[in-house]
């Protein structure tokens, strides 16, 4: 796996641990797909644990276009960076699918972490995984063309949100071409064209609107000019 990608085993480890530590500690809340959970520009009063579904965090540019930065799922926390930095939230957090979360007041979150210091290790794993994703996005935006940006994004999604199936790795949440375009600062029409090429090359297939990555990620090194595509 590319060093720019978070290792799937690391994601599984910290998500399972954080879910075990924080599940049942907060107030359960439910959000429908595309609902806004938190809007940026204010201090963090809460930390959230995701119990079900997929949450996305994004920026808005001056024209109102969104750029998706992170996709989070069961066992992930959000709001913790703003709380630890004692700053204002800089992102908009939305429900990519129907979502169940638990909302913990900041003081309760800090009490739990002080009582159980082992939590900090797993929070560090989570933060380092988020940092890996940001690093990969910076690398892509600086050096890669649209095709490689899309390939790298699909690898990352298969690492973060994938499950093995016969013949490949299925990305469990469904993503539209518009969703993918927002993650690589492209357009829906461009992504549609590139996805057709990748299907022709048998890099991926789409089944019941799920993307299945068919090539072995370990054989692919991001940023290498000799990569396919």
List, in order of start, the domains of the chain with CATH numbers: 8-131 (2.60.120.10), 144-219 (1.10.10.10)
- Position 43 scores a pLDDT of 74
Per-residue pLDDT tens listing for the chain (229 residues): 444 566 778 889 999 999 999 999 999 999 999 999 998 777 778 999 999 999 999 987 777 777 888 999 999 999 998 888 888 877 899 999 999 999 999 999 999 999 999 999 999 999 999 998 888 888 888 888 999 999 999 988 988 888 899 989 999 999 999 999 989 989 999 999 999 999 999 999 999 999 999 866 544 433 333 332 3
196 class by beta-carbon count within 10 Å (0-12 exposed, 13-18 middle, 19+ buried):
exposed
What strands, in cross-sheet order, belong to the sheet with 92-95? 36-38, 92-95, 55-60, 66-72
DSSP state of 222: T
Please work out, in degrees rounded to the nearest 5, the angle formed at the alpha carbon of residue 130 by the alpha carbons of 209 and 27: 80
- Compute the C-alpha angle 76/81/85, nearest 5°: 165
Query: Among the residues of the chain, which ranges form H helices?
Result: 8-22, 80-85, 106-115, 119-143, 146-161, 177-183, 188-200
97, with CB counted inside 10 A (0-12, 13-18, 19+), is middle
User: Is the Cβ–Cβ distance between 71 and 43 less than 8 Å?
Assistant: no
- Pairing mode, if any, of strands 92-95 and 55-60? antiparallel
Strands 204-207 and 210-213 come out as antiparallel
Number of C-beta neighbours around residue 75 at 10 A: 23
pTM, two decimal places: 0.83
Task: Rounding to the nearest 10 degrees, give the CA dihedral for residues 186, 192, 195, 199.
Answer: -170
């Amino acid at each position: 796996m590319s060093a720019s990608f978070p290792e799937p085993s690391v994601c599984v480890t910290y998500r399972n641990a954080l879910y075990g530590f924080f599940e049942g500690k907060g107030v359960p809340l439910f959000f429908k797909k595309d609902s806004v959970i938190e809007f940026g520009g204010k201090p963090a009063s809460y930390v959230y644990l995701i119990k079900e579904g997929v949450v996305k965090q994004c920026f808005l540019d001056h024209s109102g276009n969104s750029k998706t930065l992170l996709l989070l799922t069961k066992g992930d926390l959000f709001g913790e960076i703003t709380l630890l930095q004692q700053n204002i939230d800089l992102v908009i957090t939305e429900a990519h699918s129907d979502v169940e979360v638990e909302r913990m007041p900041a003081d309760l979150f800090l009490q739990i972490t002080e009582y159980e210091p082992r939590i900090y290790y797993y929070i560090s794993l989570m933060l380092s995984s988020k940092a890996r994703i940001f690093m990969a996005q910076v690398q892509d935006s600086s050096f890669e063309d649209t095709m490689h940006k899309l390939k790298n994004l699909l690898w990352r999604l298969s690492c973060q949100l994938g499950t093995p199936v016969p013949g490949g790795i299925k990305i469990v949440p469904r993503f539209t071409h518009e969703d993918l375009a927002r993650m690589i600062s492209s357009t829906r029409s461009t992504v549609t064209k590139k996805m057709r090429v990748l299907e022709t090359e048998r890099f991926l297939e789409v089944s019941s609107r799920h993307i299945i990555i068919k090539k072995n990620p370990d054989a692919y090194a991001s940023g290498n000019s000799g990569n396919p595509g």
